[in-house]
Structure formats: structure tokens, C-alpha cells
Amino acid sequence: MERRITIEESVVYKEDYQIRMLEENEIEGLLPVRGRGINGRSCYDFDVSGKISMQALYTRSEMTLKDIRAFLQALRDVLESVEEHLLNIHRILLKPEYIFYEEEQFFFCYYPLKATELWDDVHELMEYFVKRVDYSDKDCVKIVFRLHKETMEENYSLYKIIDECLIEESKVSDSQTVEKKTYYEEEENVYDQRDHDWITEREMGTMIMEDMEHMWLPVQRFLRKHKKPRWGEWDGLHIEEEEL
């Protein structure tokens, strides 16, 4: 079943090249949209079937480092897609209620009548991130505060900031992977050492048994030599000193 949200504007609807481009092309990262006019108003319907808004998603949960990476990658990809289709990147809505999530992927609304600048919208969104971030994850907090700080600068390069943060996040992930690998290697070494100890113990045990057998041979020979005679043939048992 299709689910959609509608944004209305109290202006007469005019279909320009933007809405035609959006309706005729499937642009990666953008939600499907249809424009229409009704009673002197402009309406834009966005298909959000199977998706949940960022606002709803983080109402009871916190943003993780994985979430931050997924968002930054999605934002970078959609900016490139929008520019490739000769659309205006400043028309992308960046409010949490208009950003949607499905299967580890974020999707955005392109609203032709949007008037605010993308740079201001990004910083405002970073303020939202600061409130929703998982503060138990130091690496996640570090990247979010970096985004918040750098988007406060005038004429900042959004692409540069995103790329640097993605590289930083990748280093963090690699570091965590190395730590896990080292841990498992240590565990494996402990296991191998135990195997080695067990083998050593078996070998030592075999050597001891062999030594005991060598020590027991004279006693066995003595017992065979002085085997107890049958009943009635007992002459007494004589033990020579040299036999011992």
C-alpha cells in the first residue's frame, strides 16, 4: 500500500523543468514526487512507502557512528545526483521530518519551492545530530561535533567536510577491526599454547612410562627366574644379593 506525505504552498502551481525532471527520472537518493495544483495552491506528494522519517527513527533511539556514515554518504551521493540532472541542490529538504530511512539508506525530498540555503540547513541539521548522538560512543561524538563546528564557518566546502569525516570514520572502523583481529589472534595463541602444553604432557607421560618399563625389566626377569613352584614342589625361595 502506497504511503505519502504532502507539502502544500499557498501559491499557484506552476510546472517547471524541475518537476518534469523529477517525474521523468528516477534520481538516486530522492523520493519519488508528483506536483499538482488545487484551489490556487501548490501540492507536492512524496512517496514514502516502507520508510520512516529521521525524526521518528531517533525519537527513542540514538544516532550511532554507522548511522552518521550512512547519512553522510547518502547526502554526498544525492548532491552529485541532483547536480548531474541540472537541479538545484538548495532545494533538498534537510529537516529530520523530511529525511527518510529504509534498509540502512537515507532518502531526501526535493522541494522546488524551498527558499533557504543548503549550507544553513546542514548546520541546523548538525545541531539536531548533537542532541541525538550516542554519547557513549566517543568516536561518534567526535565526528558529530566536528561537523557542527565546521558547518558554522562561512563559505565552507560541504563536499570536503563530508569526505574528511568519511575518511576519519573509515580509520576508526579499521582500527576497531584491527583491535578485534588482535584479540582473536591472542585467543588463538592461547588455544594453541594449550594444545602445545597438552601435547608436551602426553610426550612427557610417554617418556615416563618408557622409563618405568625399563626400570621394571630387572624385577620381571627376577620374578620369572624365581617363579613359584606348583603346590607340593616348594623348596623355599633363595634370593641372591647380586640379583637385586
Measured CA to CA, the distance from residue 117 to residue 207 in angstroms comes to: 83
Which backbone phi and psi does 102 adopt, to 5 degrees? -160, 125
Percentage with pLDDT > 90 across the chain: 66
pLDDT in tens, 37-79: 999 999 999 999 999 999 999 998 999 999 999 999 999 999 9
Q: Which residue stretches of the chain are H helix?
A: 17-24, 54-57, 65-84, 118-132, 138-150, 158-225
pLDDT at 35: 95
Bridge partner residues of 5 (DSSP): 46
pLDDT in tens, 202-241: 555 555 445 445 544 554 554 455 454 444 444 444 444 4
In the numeric block, the cell 527513542 is attached to: 60
Amino acid at 4: R
In the numeric block, the cell 544525492 is attached to: 78
Count the neighbouring beta carbons within 10 Å of the beta carbon of residue 148. 18
Between 180 and 158, whose confidence is greater? Answer: 158
Collect all residues with Cβ–Cβ distance below 8 Å to 77 and sequence separation of at least 6: 28, 29
Collect all residues with Cβ–Cβ distance below 8 Å to 106 and sequence separation of at least 6: 29, 54, 70, 71, 74, 75, 99, 100
Q: In a 3-state reduction of DSSP, which class is residue 44?
A: strand
Count the neighbouring beta carbons within 10 Å of the beta carbon of residue 91. 19
- Give the mean pLDDT of 187-212: 51
Between 177 and 121, whose confidence is greater? Answer: 121
Amino acid at 31: L
Bridge partner residues of 42 (DSSP): 9, 37
Pairing of strands 52-53, 99-102: antiparallel
pLDDT in tens, 132-178: 999 999 999 999 999 999 999 988 999 999 999 999 887 776 555 55
Pairing of strands 33-38, 4-9: unpaired
pLDDT at 2: 86
